[in-house]
Structure 1
Amino acid sequence: MGVYERQQREKKILEAAIQLFGEKGLHVSTMADVARKTRISKGLIYFYYKSKEDLYLALTKKGMDELKELFNKSFGKPKEKTGLEIMTTLVEGYLSFAREKAVFHDALLDFLSVLDSYQVQREKVSPLILESPYFTKLLQSHHDLAKLGIKAISMGIQDGSIRPDLHAESAFYTLWSMMIGYTKVTGSVSLEPGDIKINAESWKNGFLKLFFEILKGSNTPFKSQPVQGKLF
């Protein structure tokens, strides 16, 4: 089998997995489902991906690569944007990515949970995960996102668009945790009881206000858009 043919078959399997995991979730989906969807035998599926975990980590790596590309594009041309403008583009892009490519975003958050176990209680991590070559690749590349965010904040501190008293690394990881938390809680906002006066739009404006006040300081207020619609 030629290299091109193998690559095309791997791509076909991965595309089917992305759709299945997105529709049914990791735990419900099976390799037999992938085989039926691709019309490739289950045995041959295992030739390309050694386990469902291996396939899911391949999906995770693809999501990581796409998010890294989005972060890189946030910088634009050299010296075209200030650090604050880069961070504005970056956070808007991330929130869109989380909403529009939920299967990738969920996989990335699952990987972060695995990393916690890997650091603290490695024996609790499934051997099927540890044996995957994609797990090794993710270990080597997951910090690339943080490096890009730290670079943007450092640029902003240097060009004066971001407050000078910030520690770039600490600031990015604080904001990164805010971004992840925002995406995880967004869906529950509309289910809050009537005495909690918030809806998705007003909360997004409040989130962005706090986000950019951390970067700029409270002396330069963030201007939110007028909130319309019923408060839940």
Structure 2
Amino acid sequence: MGVYERQQKEKKILEAAIHLFSEKGFHATKVDEVAKKARISKGLVYFYYKSKEDLYMAITKKGVDELKEIFNKAFGKPKEKTGLEVMTDLAESYLSFARDKKVFHDAILHFLGLLDQYQVDKEKLNPLILNSQYFTKLVQSHHDLAKLGIKAISTGIKDGSIRPDLHAESTFYTLWSMMIGYCRISGSVSLEPGEIKINTESWKNGFIKLFFEILKGSSTPSVSQPVQGKLF
């Protein structure tokens, strides 16, 4: 089998798996269904991917690669954008990616959770994941996304578009965690009880305002209110 034919088979399997995982979820999808959707034999699926977990790691790797490409495009041509403009595009692109490529975003977040266990006690990880070549590649390259974000913030600090008192590394990880949290709970905001004064639009506007106040600083200095009375 030639290289091109092999690549086409792998592509068909991935496309089928992405469709089914999006529709039914990872756990409810069977390899038999992936094979049927791809119109190939189950044995051939296992020829290219050692397990369903290996296939999911391949999808995760594809998602990370797509998001990395999106981050790289946000930079544009050298010296074309300020660091703040790059961060604006990164944030907008990330939120769009999380909405439009949900199966990839969910896979990436699942992988980040696996990394926690990998560092604490990797022997407790599912061996089908540990033995996946795609998991190994992800462990080796997962910092690439953060490096691009850190680069954008560092550029902004140097060109003056981002406040100079920030630490680029901790700031990016803080903002990234904010974006992940926003994506996770934004769907529940519209379901909050009436006494909670929030809706999807006000939550989005408030999130964006706070996001950029972290980078630029607030034009209105905050004043701490005096504490009245005793705590106990």
Which range, TM-score by smaller chain?
Answer: over 0.9
Q: Which residue of 1 aligns with 2:38?
A: 38
The structure with the larger Rg is 2
1:124 Cα deviation (Å)?
Answer: 1.9
Aligned residue for 1:169?
169
Aligned to 2:112: 112
Q: What's 1:207 paired with?
A: 207
Matches for 1:1-232 after TM superposition, within 5 Å: 1-219=1-219
CA positional deviation for 1:122: 1.3
* C-alpha separation in 2, matches of 1:172 and 1:38: 39
CA shift digits 1:184-221 (9 cap, x unpaired): 01111111111111111110110011110000001279
Comparing 117-126 and 174-183, the one that deviates more = 117-126
CA distance in 2, matches of 1:152, 1:220: 25
Q: 8 Å contact 1:83–1:156 — kept in the other structure?
A: yes
Could you tell me how far apart the structure 2 residues matched to 1:54 and 1:68 are?
21
CA distance in 1, matches of 2:94, 2:21: 21
1:225 equivalent in structure 2: none
Aligned-partner Cα distance in 2 for 1:56–1:78 = 36
Taking the aligned partners of 1:6 and 1:197, their CA distance within structure 2 comes to: 55
CA distance in 2, matches of 1:187, 1:129: 30
- TM-score (norm. length: structure 1): 0.94
Deviation at 1:121, TM superposition (A): 2.2
TM-score, normalisation: structure 2: 0.94
C-alpha deviation, 1:44, in angstroms: 1.0
Letter in 2 for 1:45: V
Structure-2 separation of matches of 1:30 and 1:118: 26
**CA–CA distance in structure 2, aligned partners of residues 124 and 206 of structure 1:** 40
Which one-letter code corresponds to 2:202 in the other structure?
S
Contact 1:153–1:168 (CA<8 Å) still a contact in 2?
yes
1:54/1:134 contact within 8 Å kept:
yes
Distance 1:220 1:38 in 2: 57
In 1, the alpha carbon distance for the partners of 2:3 and 2:93 equals: 34
Match of 1:74, SS state, is helix
1:123 deviates by 2.1
SS in 1 for 2:109: helix
**Residue 162 of structure 2 aligns to which amino acid in structure 1?**
I
Structure 2 unmatched ranges of 5 or more: 222-232
Percent of residue pairs identical: 79
Distance 1:16 1:35 in 2: 8
> Within 1, Cα distance between the matches of 2:165 and 2:92?
24
8 Å contact from structure 1 (residues 18, 59) kept in 2: yes
Report the 3-state secondary structure (helix = DSSP H, G, I; strand = E; otherwise coil) of the residue aligned with 1:121. helix
